[in-house]
Every structure is written in C-alpha cells, then in structure tokens.
C-alpha cells in the first residue's frame, strides 16, 4: 500500500561506524582507558560530568587540562552519534565546539593550540560523516545534500590549512621549548589530519556524478594524501584506515587485483570491531564488483553467524541477498527469488531486537525490493522519490513524482495499486491547497477505477475539495455542487465509515442555509 | 467478560475514552462555518479548533477531566482530523491512532478500541 508519504524518524541507537579519531597526543593512558570504558558502556552523562568537574579545578595551562578537554569533546561527539533526535545531536556538537573554542581562546601553548584545532576540525568531519550517513536514508532531501556539500568543502579547506601549519611547525625546526612533543605528537597529529583530509575528499568525490571531472580530481587528490598516511607504521590505526580507503579507491577504479592485495595486507586482528566490520564490508563489495554475488553472500552469512551485532556488513548482506533475488527472478527462478527475499527479510531483523541505523537501512532495502516487485522498478523509484521529497518538505516535487508514478502504473491497467498511488497524489495536492487540480485528478481516478475498496476515501476527499472551493467562492452553483456531492456520498457509500463524516458536513451545510428566524415584534 | 478498565469506544464521528472503568465523552468534531477548519467538541461544547497543521488549539481544563483522558482524547481527536482531511480509510486511521498512542506510552488504550471494524 502506498500510504501517505512519510519517512520514519530514525529511532533507536544510531551507533554509526568510523569512530572519531581524536588521538589525544599527550594523553595519560589509565585516564584514557577509563573514559574509553565509560564510552563503550554508553555512560555519556557520567563521562561528561567527570570531565566538567575536573576542568573546574584545572588552570588553563595545565597539561592535564588538554587531556580532559579532548576526552570531553570526544565523548560529546560520540554521544551525538548515539542520539536519535537531530536537535539533540546538533546541541551536543555545538557544546563540543564551544568547549574547544573556549580553550583555544584561553591557551597560548602552541602544542595545545594545535591539538585543539585538530580536534575542532575532526569534530566537523564527524558531523559531516554522520549527516552523510543519515542522508542515505532520504537521498531526495536536496537542502540537506547542499548543507553536507558546503560542510565537506569547508572541512577540506580547514584540513589543508592545518596540514600546512603542522608541516611548517615540524620542518625545518620546532620551537626549542616543545621539541619532545613535536617529535612524537605533531607527526601523529599530521597523520590524523591527512587521513581526515583524504576521507573528506573521498566523500566529496562520491557525492558527485561518476562522469564529473571534479569527482576524478577529488579522487586523485584523496589518493595522493592517503598514500602519505598508509605508508606509515603498519600497526598504527591511521595506517590501516588509510589502506582501507585506498582499497575502496582501487575497487571504484575497477582494479580489483590491487584492491584485494591491499585489503589482504590489513591486520584485522588488531582492529576495533567496527573497523573490522568495514574491512568485511569492503571484502564483500570487492566480490560484488567482480560479479561474485553468491560468494559475497556466503562470506557475509558466515561472518554473521559469529558476530550477531547489526553493522554495516549486515546491510551489505541484505542488499546482496536482494540483488541475488532480483537476478534469480530475471532467470525466471521464482522459488529461489522468493526464498532469497524472505532470507533478506529475516536477516534485516536484528537478533537482539535492538534497532539501529544499519537495521533501519536494511529494512528500508527489503521494503524497496518488495516495492520493486509490486510496482515495477521504475514506478517504485518514482514512489520513493515522492515519499522522499514529501519527507523533505518539498510538496510540489512530491506531487509531481506521484503524478508520474500514477500515469506510469495506470498504463498497465487499473488496479488497487494504481488507485492508491492516485489517491496519494491527490492527498499531497490537497495539502498544497490545489483544490481545482485535485478535483480533476479525483474525478479521473474515480471514473477509471470502478470497483476499488478505497473509493469512499477518494470520494470524501473530492467532497472536501468541493467544500473548500465553495468556501473560497461562495455562490449558488458551487453550493449546489457541494450539496449534491455530499448527498451522493451519503447515498452511494451507506456502509462506509466516511458516510458519518459526509453526513455531518451535509447537516451543518443545511443548518447554515436555513433562513435566520425573523425577530418577533414585542 | 467484564469491560477492560481502559479503552476507546467509537460510534459514528464520536468517541468515548474509558479510564479506570469510567467512560468520558462524547468527544466529537464539527466543521467550521467555512468548512476550512474543524472544531473539537466535548459533550457538544467546543474545546479547541484545527485551522491548519500549524494552527491547532485545544483546552479541556474547564471539564476537569483526568490527565490521561485529556491526553488520549487530544491524541485521538488530532489523529481523526488528520485522517479525515487526508481521506484515510478506517484501517489507516486506526493505525495512526494506535501509533500516536504508542509513541506516548498509552498503548493500553489502543489495545481496547471498540466500534471500529
């Protein structure tokens, strides 16, 4: 059923991947482990309170202050990834930015200023990464896409500037009073900045059409930057992430062999669970790129028998199964196609019942596969566009997409589905207050669909349009038309629940038309 | 079988909210004179109105109803008007009512809906 277009608000935990890599360069390890443990247990408020309490007693120049500030802002950024409401997420990002800006104003220590500036930039990259993932749920939200594009470009400018600043500070000679710090930490900070820069360039490339020269340019720049990081020490997390990014670039370029070689060089045993999952996803993507869909599904199935957590690779499993189902249907093997789709549906439900961003995307992928089957891929895509634009607040474009979907589906003949799409189109037009146009659409819809169960709803909507037109231009002709439509609804749909609503309107209209009683002379 | 202590009963365009074994109602609606908006009624007295999704007003204070009844009544009124204006079917209206009640932790009222097929 094409119910009124709406997109569910992303609820539950987001638990997005690609953790913010703050790499506090001057961290005290037990303290770092303590905060990491609190974050792993999602004790956000406790971690934030501990940091804020400690900050109250630390002078601006204390080295410990820097560690606490970095822990606090990393906690706020990860907390932002974990909340379902956009306003709450935004508030946490702003709080983290405020903390960093305040510290930047208070400290003159160069090493601290650089660490704070890198953390500030990382925070903006994290914001961009979260928004990009969320935008995948509704790719028709153009305003959001524009916002993400602007944020990415700003990030690239800022990261380039930081990369230059760090290079200038390290070479030819660091300040004498900070030599030890620069030997170790500035190099780490610069690698972190370069990795972020490569990720932002890659993200900007991916948001552009495949034929765009700007995309090719961004990919080339991203590769140049990421090579600097991937050639670093093999055990460093940044190097592994850089290698993973480089693998993706080779795969997109169609060089599967080099991509596989790079992927095999990553030591997954040392990686955190989420990054390990990204490697698994990439292994599957690589098989898919080589048209080895069944191998990809087997790889992902096996992995999910071991790790039940719903992550990025779980979404990969669902999309692979739906693609395999589609391929089986094209080979006219309906039984296998149905079985694969049913497996996708089962697998899209998280084992522990805990919904998150990836499970929401997985369920969306299954729903899309079902819609493709029900309406045909082209009409289903138009319905999705209508729904997405409606959710983004663009009613005009939503109505246009539903109108096109209706025309396309109706060409195959009148059905409950074509009626439902036509009715959804009319509902959006009513919201736009385009009563004349809606009336015309509904007249056509009712005339061409004689036996649909939803006829009473369409007819009541038609009556409401006539009422609104009468209200806009009161006159005898409009009133008679409105009255006749109400009487016809009450007569033609005696068993429909809409009858009571129409009867109520009719009674009120008749009461309004009764001449006012003439005052009697006293 | 005894009546559940909570629930909602519909009849025509009216409904009653059952709370702690007592029924409150009828809640109903009436089109505004120009048919552009809707007025909410409790025991045939106006308690609010709907002009557009951004202009909804309701105040049940004068009826001194239990807070739960006010919450459920307002949610159901809002859902019904949304359903009428968008031409939703009974099943779809019921879905909207159920979902909105569940979103506010009032599922027990949605579990006992009577008078709707």
Q: What is the pLDDT of residue A176?
A: 57
* pLDDT at residue A10 is higher than 50: no
DSSP 3-state of B27: strand
The Cα B93–Cα B85 span in angstroms is 11
Task: Report chain A's C-alpha Rg in angstroms.
Answer: 30
Is residue A386 pLDDT above 90, yes or no? yes
Give per-residue pLDDT as tens, B64-82.
999 999 999 999 998 888 8
Tell me, yes or no, whether A478 lies in a domain: yes
**A457, B13: Cβ pair inside 8 Å?**
no
pLDDT of residue A194: 94
DSSP state of B4: P
Domain membership of residue A466 as a residue range: 378-511
Per-residue pLDDT, A306: 83
Query: How many structural domains comprise chain A?
Result: 2
Q: List the single residue in A with minimal CA-CA distance to B52.
A: A431
| Spatial distance between the Cα atoms of A250 and A259, rounded to a whole number of angstroms | 5
C-alpha pair distances (Å), A106 with each of A54, A109, B31: 17, 9, 62
A457 closest CB neighbour out of B30, B31, B89: B89
Q: What is the ipTM of this complex?
A: 0.74
Does any domain span residue A506?
A: yes
Same domain membership, residue A371 and residue A299: yes
Question: How many Å apart are CA A206 and CA A126, to the nearest integer?
Answer: 17
Strand, helix or coil for residue A399: helix
A387 shares a domain with A305: no
Query: A110-135 vs A63-82: helix axis angle to the nearest 10?
Result: 0
pLDDT at residue B88 tops 80:
no
Q: Which residues pair with B38 in a beta bridge?
A: B31, B50
Least confident residue range of A48-57, A128-137, A175-184, B46-55: A175-184
Q: What is the pLDDT of residue A45?
A: 92
A402 and A490 in a single domain? The answer is: yes
CA distance, residue A2 to nearest chain B CA (Å): 11
What residue of A is the nearest CA neighbor of B92?
A: A3
Q: What is the mean pLDDT of residues A515-521?
A: 64
Mark which of A354, A375, A396 sits at the end of a domain: A375
pLDDT tens digits along A199-248 = 999 999 999 998 999 999 999 999 999 988 877 665 578 888 999 999 99
Q: How far apart are CA A455 and CA A419, in angstroms?
A: 9
Give the domain CATH number at A395: 1.25.40.10
Lowest pLDDT segment from A262-266, A283-287, A416-420, B29-33: B29-33
pLDDT for A14 equals 31
Do A427 and A312 sit in the same domain of this protein?
no
pLDDT computed for residue A28 by the predictor: 58
Task: Render pLDDT for A64-97 as a digit per residue (tens, 0 to 9).
Answer: 888 899 999 999 999 998 887 888 999 999 999 9
Mean pLDDT, chain A, whole residue set: 86
Nearest to B13 among A467, A470, A504 (CB): A504
- pLDDT grade, residue A453 (50/70/90)? confident
Last residue of a domain, one of A324, A356, A375: A375
C-beta neighbour count of A291 within 10 angstroms: 10
- Smallest Cα distance from B91 to chain A, Å: 10
* pLDDT score of A521: 65
pLDDT in the model for residue A368: 94
Going by pLDDT thresholds of 50, 70 and 90, the confidence category of residue A518 is low
Distance from CA of B46 to the nearest CA of A (A): 15
What CATH number has the domain bearing residue A299?
A: 1.25.40
> For an interface test with B, which of A84, A464, A499, A503 has the most B Cβ atoms less than 10 Å from its Cβ?
A464
Cβ distance of A457 and B31 shorter than 8 Å: no
Q: What pLDDT is attached to residue A233? A: 67
**Nearest-CA residue of chain B relative to A510?**
B33
Q: pLDDT value at position A108? A: 82
Q: Is the pLDDT of residue A16 over 50?
A: no
Q: Is residue A521 part of a domain?
A: no
- Which pLDDT score is estimated for A23? 41
Mean pLDDT check: name the lowest of A179-193, A252-266, A274-288, A444-458: A179-193
- Do the Cβ atoms of B12 and A458 come within 8 Å? no
Which of these, A374, A376, A413, A371, lies nearest to A388 by C-alpha position?
A371
Of A3-7, A46-50, A123-127, give the lowest mean pLDDT range: A3-7
A385 and A361: one domain? no
Condensed to tens digits (0 to 9), the pLDDT of residues A311-321 reads 899 999 999 99
Q: Are residues A418 and A353 in the same domain?
A: no
Q: Enumerate the domain spans of chain B.
A: 7-114
Nearest CA in chain B to A462: B87
> Is the confidence at residue A517, as pLDDT, over 70?
no
Asked if A467 lies within 8 A of B30 by C-beta distance, the reply is: no
| Cα separation, A506 vs A500, whole angstroms | 10
Query: Hey, are the CB atoms on A508 and B84 less than 8 Å from each other?
Result: no
The answer, yes or no, to whether residue B33 has pLDDT greater than 90, is: no
Most A CBs within 10 A among B29, B35, B98, hence the mutation to make, goes to B35
Higher pLDDT, A155 or A522: A155
Average pLDDT of B10-34?
A: 88
Does A302 reside within a domain?
yes
- Report the pLDDT value the prediction gives residue A187, as an integer from 0 to 100: 80
Q: What residues of chain B lie within 8 A of the CB of A468, using their CB? A: 35-36
8 Å CB contact of B116 and A501: no
What is the model's pLDDT at position A216? 92
Asked whether the predicted pLDDT for residue A250 surpasses 50, the reply is: yes
CA angle A145, A150, A156 (to 5 degrees): 125
- Position A138 in a domain: no
Residue finishing a domain among A343, A375, A407: A375
Any domain includes A352: yes
- In the prediction, which pLDDT does A2 show? 43
To probe the interface with B, which of A501, A509, A513 has the most B CB atoms within 10 Å? A501
**Averaged over A261-267, what is the pLDDT?**
90
Task: For residue A500, give the chain B residue with the closest CA.
Answer: B12
| A383 lies in the same domain as A487 | yes
Give the list of residues 6+ apart from residue B79 with CB closer than 8 angstroms, or none.
B93, B96, B97, B100
SS3 at position B24: strand
- Could you tell me if residue A471 is inside a domain? yes
CA distance A85 to A129: 16
Residue whose entry in the numeric block shows the structure tokens 């080589």: A290
């Amino acid at each position: 059923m094409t119910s009124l277009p709406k997109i569910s608000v992303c609820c539950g935990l987001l638990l997005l991947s690609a953790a913010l890599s703050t790499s506090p360069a001057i961290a005290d390890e037990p303290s770092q482990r303590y905060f990491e443990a609190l974050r792993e247990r999602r004790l956000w408020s406790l971690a934030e309170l501990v940091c804020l309490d400690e900050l109250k007693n630390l002078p601006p120049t204390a080295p410990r202050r820097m560690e606490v500030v970095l822990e606090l802002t990393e906690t706020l950024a990860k907390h932002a990834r974990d909340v379902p409401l956009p306003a709450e997420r935004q508030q946490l990002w702003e709080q983290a930015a405020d903390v960093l800006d305040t510290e930047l104003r208070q400290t003159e220590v160069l090493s601290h200023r650089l660490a704070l500036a890198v953390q500030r930039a990382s925070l903006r990259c994290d914001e961009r990464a979260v928004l990009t993932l969320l935008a995948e749920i509704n790719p028709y939200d153009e305003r959001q896409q524009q916002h993400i594009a602007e944020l990415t470009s700003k990030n690239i400018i800022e990261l380039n500037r930081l990369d230059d600043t760090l290079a200038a500070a390290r070479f030819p000679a660091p300040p004498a009073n900070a030599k030890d710090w620069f030997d170790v930490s500035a190099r780490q900070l610069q690698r972190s900045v370069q990795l972020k820069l490569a990720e932002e360039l890659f993200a900007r490339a991916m948001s552009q059409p495949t034929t765009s020269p700007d995309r090719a340019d961004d990919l080339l720049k991203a590769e140049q930057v990421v090579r600097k990081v991937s050639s670093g020490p093999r055990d460093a997390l940044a190097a592994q992430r850089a290698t993973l990014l480089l693998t993706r670039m080779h795969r997109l370029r169609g060089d599967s062999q080099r991509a596989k070689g790079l992927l095999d060089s990553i030591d997954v045993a040392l990686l955190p669970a989420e990054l390990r999952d990204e490697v698994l996803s990439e292994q599957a993507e690589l098989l898919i790129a080589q048209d080895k869909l069944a191998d990809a599904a087997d790889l992902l199935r096996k992995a999910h028998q071991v790790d039940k957590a719903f992550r990025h690779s779980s979404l990969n499993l669902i999309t692979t199964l739906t693609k395999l189902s589609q391929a089986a249907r094209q080979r006219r093997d309906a039984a296998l196609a149905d079985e694969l789709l049913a497996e996708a549906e089962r697998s899209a439900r998280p084992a522990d019942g805990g919904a998150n961003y990836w499970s929401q995307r997985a369920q969306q992928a299954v729903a899309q596969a079902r819609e493709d089957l029900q309406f045909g891929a082209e009409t289903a895509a138009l319905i999705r566009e209508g729904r997405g634009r409606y959710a983004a607040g663009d009613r005009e474009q939503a109505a246009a997409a539903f109108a096109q979907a209706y025309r396309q589906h109706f060409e195959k003949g009148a059905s409950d589905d074509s009626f439902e799409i036509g009715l959804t189109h009319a509902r959006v037009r009513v919201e736009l207050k385009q009563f004349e146009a809606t009336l015309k659409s509904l007249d056509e819809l009712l005339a061409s669909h004689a036996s649909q169960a939803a006829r009473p709803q369409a007819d009541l909507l038609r009556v409401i349009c006539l009422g609104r037109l009468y209200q806009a231009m009161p006159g005898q002709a409009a009133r008679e038309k409105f009255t006749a439509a109400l009487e016809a609804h009450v007569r033609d749909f005696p068993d429909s629940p809409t009858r009571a609503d129409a009867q109520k309107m009719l009674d009120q209209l008749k009461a309004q038309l009764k001449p006012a009683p003439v005052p009697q002379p006293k | 079988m005894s009546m559940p202590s909570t629930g909602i009963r519909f009849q025509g365009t009216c409904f009653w909210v059952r709370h702690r074994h007592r029924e409150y109602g009828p809640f109903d609606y009436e089109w505004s004179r120009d048919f552009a908006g809707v007025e909410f009624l409790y025991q045939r007295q106006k308690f609010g109105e709907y002009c557009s999704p951004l202009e909804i007003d309701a105040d049940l204070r004068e009826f001194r109803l239990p807070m739960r009844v006010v919450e459920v009544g307002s949610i159901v009124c809002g859902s019904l008007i949304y359903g009428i204006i968008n031409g939703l079917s009974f099943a779809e209206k019921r879905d909207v009512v159920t979902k909105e009640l569940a979103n506010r932790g009032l599922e027990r009222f949605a579990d006992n809906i009577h008078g709707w097929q």
